[in-house]
């Protein structure tokens, strides 16, 4: 069964550095998402992406964050000038259409030191 893949599984970064989290969505899916889960808290929506542009974003997704689909397969989340509070598990998801279920990757655990 096709699946969403995320790399790396664990990223350790110094505070203030930039980090890029990578995702390969399911190949025929059109909608892409990023979520995060801070330890012990809810899974929170960050952003959705369709047709090469952001279709929706939450209050969390401020100017520190950006997303990109640099080629036909990858979908990336860039976090500039990381802060301690950015430490979380980041999940990528994709769906075939906006009304279809979202399929999640295994996540990237981001640790900011």
Partner 1 sequence: GDSVTQMEGPVTLSEEAFLTINCTYTATGYPSLFWYVQYPGEGLQLLLKATKADDKGSNKGFEATYRKETTSFHLEKGSVQVSDSAVYFCALSDRQAGTALIFGKGTTLSVSS
Indicate whether 11 belongs to the interface with partner 1 (CB under 8 A): no
Strand partners, 17: none
Q: Interaction with partner 1 in 93-112: which residues (CB under 8 A)?
A: 93, 95, 98-99, 101-107
Q: What angle do CA 96, 91, 94 make, to 5 degrees?
A: 5
Q: Are 68 and 87 in contact (CB under 8 A)?
A: no
Residue 34 binds partner 1, judged by CB under 8 A: no
Which residues bind to partner 1, rule: CB under 8 A? 4, 6, 31, 33, 35, 41-45, 48, 55-56, 58, 91, 93, 95, 98-99, 101-107
């Amino acid at each position: 069964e096709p699946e969403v893949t995320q790399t790396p599984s664990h990223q350790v970064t110094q505070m203030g550095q930039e980090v890029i989290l990578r995702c390969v969505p399911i190949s025929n899916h059109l909608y892409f998402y990023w979520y995060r889960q801070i330890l012990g808290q809810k899974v929170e929506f960050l952003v959705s992406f369709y047709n090469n542009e952001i279709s929706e974003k939450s209050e969390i997704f401020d100017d520190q964050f950006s997303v990109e689909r640099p080629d036909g397969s990858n979908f990336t989340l860039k976090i500039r000038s990381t802060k301690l509070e950015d430490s979380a598990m980041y999940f990528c998801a994709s769906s075939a259409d906006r009304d279809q279920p979202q399929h999640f990757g295994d996540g990237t655990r981001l640790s900011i030191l």
